Amino acid sequence: MPKSTTSKGGKSPTATDAEMAKKAADVAATRDAAKRITGASVVIFDTTLRDGEQCPGATMTFEEKLEVADFLEEMGVDIIEAGFPIASDGDFEAVTAIAKRLKKSVVCGLSRAGMKDIDRAGEAVKHAARPRIHTFISTSSIHIKHKLMKTEDEVLGMIADQCARARNWCDDVEWSAEDATRTDIEYLIRCVDTAIKAGATTINLPDTVGYTTPEEYEHMFRTIREQVANSDKAVFSVHCHNDLGMAVANSLAGLRGGARQIECTINGIGERAGNAALEEVVMAIKTRPDVLPYVTGIKHEMLNRASKLVSAATSFPVQYNKAIVGRNAFAHESGIHQDGMIKNATTYEIMTPESVGVSKTSLVMGKHSGRNAFRAKLKDMGYELGDNQLEDAFTRFKALADRKKHVYDEDIEALVDENIANAHDRTKVVALTVIAGTMGPQSATLTLDTDGTHTTTQSIGNGPVDAIFNAIHKLVPHEAKLDLYQVHAVTEGTDAQAEVSVRLTDPVEGKSVTAKAADPDTLVASAKAYIMALNKLQSKRGRLHSQAVG
């Protein structure tokens, strides 16, 4: 909404009535012009909870999924792909719960072409105020031959059946041609024609393997829209993977070819190199209306918070130089740039940090900082916590400030991310004592709290970390495999907090989860990260606590 220039007395002190009326007319004309451009509106379809969550280690708990879904709705996402209901009971439950709670966004469930798949998706989304079923099948000859082992005609029959079945559940049906960009165009035309005739209302043509280029993708959409007789009956959608680093460029090119829905994820998380990043797509459209004459309904001031929330929920770090939401996205290091910025920010800034929710004001925090200053600091950093979360974070901040001379933004970020990530954990580290050094064997004495019950054990190991992980194994027997153990310093200095990442894989389901924890003591951070990862696996399988021993 345009900011008002009217002062308290009802009149601007500088502008005349005529000037103000002209300004209002100009704003209205610009808005109308944007609407008049045929279909300038672009539908934002977020698949963080489905394609994003599919990437190794990015698993979210049920509660985290609900929190992310609520946030996406508030941010103005048009369609939220909440999961793949047939994939697991957990996915089904999450899609069902999200369908029940969201009021504005369309809630979508993914399904393959099988009738059971579609019915499971239908069962999950049927509670939604605005349900959608997204059903897909491969159309490239590589996939048809090697994956589906069918003929092209058989696949055409399946397309008709899957769309018709999905339409029995709801009027909003999206059909996707998996590996569309490597599909013979004549065959793709027949597939799209069949899907629309059978009731699909959105046609998604994904670049499943991240292979296409902007020109090629634009051309594909233009050709399909021109050649398919009933193409005006459906909205066309882009869905790009980032294997060659072109997911966002390709998505925007698809719009030029006539697509009006973009499928994307927060922070670009997703299979392999990820999906097109929502924040990049949205800000490209906002920043370059001269070459991208489209509009989205996203409240872009919430993008930074969305990034932080998803990073905390998945424990996937955001690369420092990530466009829009990276820590360095608005940092100016070189003298020449800093000089230009001081003279006029537009010299090196194409969008303001505030436009994506990053505030420049920096409050210095220390052990004398109070609750209000801490809350203001968090707000500046893009976090908005509930009262309980704020209280927990504040207690931990005070404890940290007692141990560490300077508490940097990065320290607070690590602390709050951990708080968000472990808010629902049932098992937590209570105490840890480690004996390490040259006179092995190294040993760890560990106390855990599980639902209010304390258990303690002692273990030895080949080094202190091994001793700690052995102690965890004794208290919480599990078969999960440790895939990754990584330590890095959150800030500079020998008193810096260590941030430990742990990735565990469930050997039965093959799912992996990542968890991050920070502490000035590397060994405490290691124990916390491992336990957080186990909690995540547990909430996937509901097994950890039933196996815990005293």
List residues near Zn ion by CB under 5 A: 51
Residues 521 and 48: their CA atoms lie apart, in Å, by 33
Handedness of CA 474, 475, 478, 484 (dihedral sign): negative
Helix/strand/coil (H/E/C) assignment for every residue in 471-497: HHHHHCCCCCEEEEEEEEECCCCCCCC
Place of tokens 């690590």: 414
CA-based angle 172:193:182, to the nearest 5?
100
Q: How many residues bind ligand KIV (CB under 6 A)?
A: 9
Nearest CA-CA partner of 79 in 312, 265, 269: 265
Closest separation between CB of residue 174 and ligand KIV, Å? 9
Tell me whether residue 174 or residue 280 sits nearer to ligand KIV (CB atom): 174
Tell me whether residue 255 or residue 414 sits nearer to ligand KIV (CB atom): 255
Closest separation between CB of residue 42 and ligand KIV, Å? 18
Place of tokens 């030895």: 460
Q: Interface residues for ligand KIV in 171-200 (CB under 6 A)?
A: 176, 178
Tell me whether residue 195 or residue 504 sits nearer to ligand KIV (CB atom): 195
The residue type of 541 is R
Nearest CA-CA partner of 465 in 533, 524, 549: 524
Closest separation between CB of residue 147 and ligand KIV, Å? 12
Nearest CA-CA partner of 182 in 245, 137, 240, 140: 140
Closest separation between CB of residue 84 and ligand KIV, Å? 8
Tell me whether residue 47 or residue 501 sits nearer to Zn ion (CB atom): 47
User: What is the enclosing helix (H) or strand (E) of 154?
Assistant: helix 152-169
Closest separation between CB of residue 208 and ligand KIV, Å? 3
Mode of pairing for the β-strands spanning 498-505 and 481-489 = antiparallel
Tell me whether residue 239 or residue 300 sits nearer to Zn ion (CB atom): 239
User: What is the enclosing helix (H) or strand (E) of 238?
Assistant: strand 235-240
Q: Interface residues for ligand KIV in 234-273 (CB under 6 A)?
A: 239, 241
User: Which region, judged by CB under 6 A, interacts with ligand KIV, from 153-161, 203-211, 327-335, 366-374?
Assistant: 203-211
Q: Which does 176 bind (CB under 5 to 8 A by kind): ligand KIV, Zn ion, none?
A: ligand KIV
Residue 14, Cβ neighbours under 10 Å: how many?
9
Residue 66, Cβ neighbours under 10 Å: how many?
18
- What residues contact 253, with CB distance under 8 A and at least 6 apart? 214, 215, 217, 218
Tell me whether residue 208 or residue 427 sits nearer to ligand KIV (CB atom): 208
Tell me whether residue 177 or residue 420 sits nearer to ligand KIV (CB atom): 177
Q: Which does 536 bind (CB under 5 to 8 A by kind): ligand KIV, Zn ion, none?
A: none
Tell me whether residue 271 or residue 411 sits nearer to ligand KIV (CB atom): 271
Q: Which does 478 bind (CB under 5 to 8 A by kind): Zn ion, ligand KIV, none?
A: none
Contact indicator for 460, 441 with CB cutoff of 8 Å: yes
Tell me whether residue 162 or residue 419 sits nearer to ligand KIV (CB atom): 162
Query: Does residue 117 interact with ligand KIV by CB under 6 A?
Result: no
Residues 243 and 247: their CA atoms lie apart, in Å, by 8
Binding mask 208-237 for ligand KIV (x = CB under 6 A): x-----------------------------
Tell me whether residue 143 or residue 528 sits nearer to ligand KIV (CB atom): 143
Q: Which does 174 bind (CB under 5 to 8 A by kind): ligand KIV, Zn ion, none?
A: none
Binding residue (CB under 6 A) for ligand KIV from 136, 221, 330, 530? 136
Mode of pairing for the β-strands spanning 261-264 and 427-435 = unpaired
Q: Which does 442 bind (CB under 5 to 8 A by kind): ligand KIV, Zn ion, none?
A: none
Contact indicator for 387, 402 with CB cutoff of 8 Å: no
Q: Which residue is nearest to Zn ion (CB)?
A: 51
Contact indicator for 213, 246 with CB cutoff of 8 Å: yes
Residue 268, Cβ neighbours under 10 Å: how many?
28
Closest separation between CB of residue 37 and ligand KIV, Å? 28
Closest separation between CB of residue 98 and ligand KIV, Å? 18
Helix/strand/coil (H/E/C) assignment for every residue in 191-220: HHHHHHHCCCCEEEEEECCCCCCHHHHHHH
Closest separation between CB of residue 243 and ligand KIV, Å? 11
Contact indicator for 300, 356 with CB cutoff of 8 Å: yes
Contact indicator for 492, 412 with CB cutoff of 8 Å: no
Q: Interface residues for ligand KIV in 48-107 (CB under 6 A)?
A: 51
Mode of pairing for the β-strands spanning 453-461 and 481-489 = unpaired
Closest separation between CB of residue 88 and ligand KIV, Å? 16
Closest separation between CB of residue 206 and Zn ion, Å? 6
Closest separation between CB of residue 502 and ligand KIV, Å? 28
Nearest CA-CA partner of 284 in 259, 317, 310, 251: 251
Q: Which does 136 bind (CB under 5 to 8 A by kind): Zn ion, ligand KIV, none?
A: ligand KIV
User: Which region, judged by CB under 6 A, interacts with ligand KIV, from 67-75, 201-209, 411-419, 441-449?
Assistant: 201-209
Binding residue (CB under 6 A) for ligand KIV from 206, 357, 382, 461? 206
Place of tokens 């000859």: 141
Nearest CA-CA partner of 390 in 410, 366, 419: 419
Residues at the site binding ligand KIV, with contacts judged by CB under 6 A: 51, 136, 176, 178, 204, 206, 208, 239, 241
